[in-house]
Amino acid sequence: MKLSTINVSDINMGSRVRENYGDIDSLVVSFRKEGIIQPLAVMETPTRDKPFLLLAGGRRFTAARKAKLDVIPVRIYERALTKLEIKGIELAENLYRKDLDWQEEVKLKKEIHDLQVEVHGEKVSTAKDALGWSKRDTSKILNESPASTAQDIQLAEMLVSIPELLKCKNKHEAQKIIKKAKDNIIYDTLAQQLEEKQSTTPTDRLRKDIVNSYIIQDFFSGIKKVPEGSVDIVEIDPPYGIDLKDMKKATDNTGVGTSEYNEVEAGKYEEFMKNTFKECYRVMNNDSWIIVWFGPEPWFESMFEWMIDAGFKTRRIPGIWNKGTGQTMQPNLYLANTYEMFFYGYKGGGRIKKGGRANVFNYKPVSAGRKIHPTERPIEMIQEVLSTFGSPGDRVLVPYLGSGNTLLASANLQMTSFGYDLSKEYKDRFITKVHESKPPLYTSSVQNLNTLHDIEPPHLKPAF
């Protein structure tokens, strides 16, 4: 190897792992003013047009060309290097300086591993003296743990099959997407097997009916087939029009993806909710109840007015789901929110079945490990809400199913129910839950906070 100065035009940049060099304008200014202090690394080649192959210094080479420099200082490797040696030099320059994007880093590690396998063959035995090359061997030359190397090589392989990974900011975010993709494959396969299972017992047939009540269809299309006056209870858990996906990125560590969640833009939310209420009112009978979950900021007054405009009788005092724990995205400005709220209203002459029950429902949320949907509510809490307003035999409509837990709560109460959603992913997970148990035993295994704190809600005599 020797130090020299060569023409910039004589250098072939070649195929390099690193593609993102960031902002090089300041480097260009520096080169024009002071020249290049740190030599690049190149290798002599038999090519006449560009007799030198760039080994290390891609960012400096790009800046030098942009600065329109004629010559550049280099270290010249005079012997022909192997592909493995070339990649090793590129790795040494970029990986240890932490300049590579994570995508570029894992690609380079995989290239080095593949080249080692090409030279030595793949190691198929774990014996100490076994021939060939393994990921563990690659981890040794990279001076990192075998698990880390294996994980990075897998990430590089997944970049090809899951292009969505290219948008991830870091490896952790990418690993969550890979886990979700693997889970989806498992749930899809399992759901297909369960749906194809023969219904030979009353329980099997009941489970099949529950699964079939989760309809993959747009609500506004499906509801047109539902006759007027045929529904006793409607439970609406609509999109909140609050850009849930961004909020969940900042606050949710459950691993439950929002990629399938269908949010409604704030500008279109009024039309969306008014149309929802209109269709629900049409199919409800004259002694029916509607339960509407909503985001109080900014929709409290709007939601109340939209319900009134649709013909429902309601008031501004909502029902409350007290979770016992809460969170806030801005703890220096806002207290942690420990509850969610719903308006309840009726069409015609409604009558609460549990007259005088307190308007607070005290249940812990579904644990992260059991969630199948980002806005999932516990079956136990939904069951208590439904039994407050309805009776066994009632027909329940759920316009936006999500996790499908309202269908399971209805089944526990011997109510019939049906609803709509656009996501096959969520239905696949719902199908597995249906077959894990049977009515009236469906549960999210959450604690009733009244029992936890030995507090009973007041049962007052009805005022009518």
Q: Give the start-to-end residue ranges of the domains of the chain.
A: 2-100, 119-196, 199-452
Q: What is the mean pLDDT of residues 328-342?
A: 92
Q: 2-100 has which fold?
A: 3.90.1530
Residue indicated by tokens 């279109």 = 268
Burial label, 101 (beta-carbon count in 10 A; 0-12, 13-18, 19+) = middle
Cis peptide bond prior to 440, omega within 30° of 0: yes
Tell me: the pLDDT tens digits for 159-210? 887 778 888 888 888 887 777 766 666 667 777 787 777 777 889 899 999 9
Residue 112 half-sphere exposure toward CB, CA atoms < 13 A = 28
| Residue 97 confidence class, pLDDT cut points 50, 70, 90 | low
Question: What's the distance, Cα to Cα, between the start and end of the chain in Å?
Answer: 98
Q: What is the dihedral of CA 269, 273, 275, 276, to 10 degrees?
A: 140
Q: Is the whole-model pTM more than 0.75?
A: no
Question: Which range has the top average pLDDT, 40-49, 192-201, 344-353?
Answer: 344-353
Give phi and psi for 374, each to the nearest 5: -65, -25
Candidate from 170-184, 212-226, 317-331, 371-385 with smallest mean pLDDT: 170-184
Question: In one letter, which amino acid is 7?
Answer: N
- Rounded mean pLDDT, 383-407: 97
Q: Residues 271-325: pLDDT tens digits?
A: 999 999 999 999 999 999 999 999 999 999 999 999 999 999 999 999 999 999 8
Is the pLDDT at 455 greater than 60, yes or no?
A: no
pLDDT of residue 250: 38
Instruction: Evaluate the CA torsion angle 175, 181, 184, 189 in order and state its sign.
Output: negative
Q: Are 193 and 248 in contact (CB under 8 A)?
A: no
pLDDT band at 449 (very low <50, low <70, confident <90, very high): confident
For residue 45, pLDDT over 90 is answered with: no
- pLDDT classification of 107: cutoffs 50, 70, 90: confident
Q: Which of 21-25, 141-145, 456-460 has the lowest mean pLDDT?
A: 456-460
Mean pLDDT within 113-121 = 84
pLDDT at 385 over 70: yes
Give residues with Cβ within 8 angstroms of 143, minimum separation 6. Answer: none
Q: What is the pLDDT of residues 235-278, one digit of tens each?
A: 999 987 765 445 444 334 444 444 454 678 888 999 999 999 99
* Region 390-411 average pLDDT: 97
Q: Residue 262's pLDDT is what? A: 64
411-428 confidence digits (pLDDT tens):
999 999 999 999 999 999
**Over the stretch 130-161, which tens digit does the pLDDT of each residue have?**
888 899 888 887 778 889 888 888 888 888 87
pLDDT confidence band for 445 (50 / 70 / 90): confident
> What pLDDT is stored for residue 329 in this prediction?
84
Residue 237: per-residue pLDDT: 95
| Pick among 3.40.50.150, 3.40.190.290, 2.60.40.10, 3.60.110.10: CATH of 199-452 | 3.40.50.150
